[in-house]
Amino acid sequence: MTPEEKEEIRRRCEAATEGPWSRDNPPLDHEGCQVWPWDRAVDMEFAYAAREDMPRLLAHIEALEAERDRLREALRECADDLHAEIAHRSTPVVSMRPDERLKYERDMEPVYRARKLLEATDGR
């Protein structure tokens, strides 16, 4: 979805009568009389466009979710690779001197941050 398409949908949303819209409980005008949203041209434009806007928005959401999942997997793989590399070149943690332990912890910080981010966003 292009920025122009999103802006056009946004423009229609902002121009339309404020919701919620309900078939059983239509909005009221300034005198308290029921007014169907279609009484305004911008509301009709919004409603008519919804049939095409909604599938495009849903497809855009699905594409963003697929990209998010791909990036999460790439981040997970990078964190695992970095952890393996650090572990391979390090003395076992229990045998480390304090200065080695400090360097190890510093080196591992990106791994910890990546895993914390992945954990915090699991299931989204």
Q: pLDDT digits over 96-122, tens only?
A: 889 988 988 898 899 899 999 888 888
When pLDDT is cut at 50, 70 and 90, the band that residue 90 belongs to is confident
What is the reported pTM? 0.67
Q: pLDDT digits over 12-39, tens only?
A: 999 988 877 776 766 666 777 776 666 6
pLDDT at 47: 87
Domain ranges of the chain: 3-120
pLDDT at 13: 93
Distance, in Å, from the CA atom of 99 to the CA atom of 90, rounded to the nearest integer, reads: 12
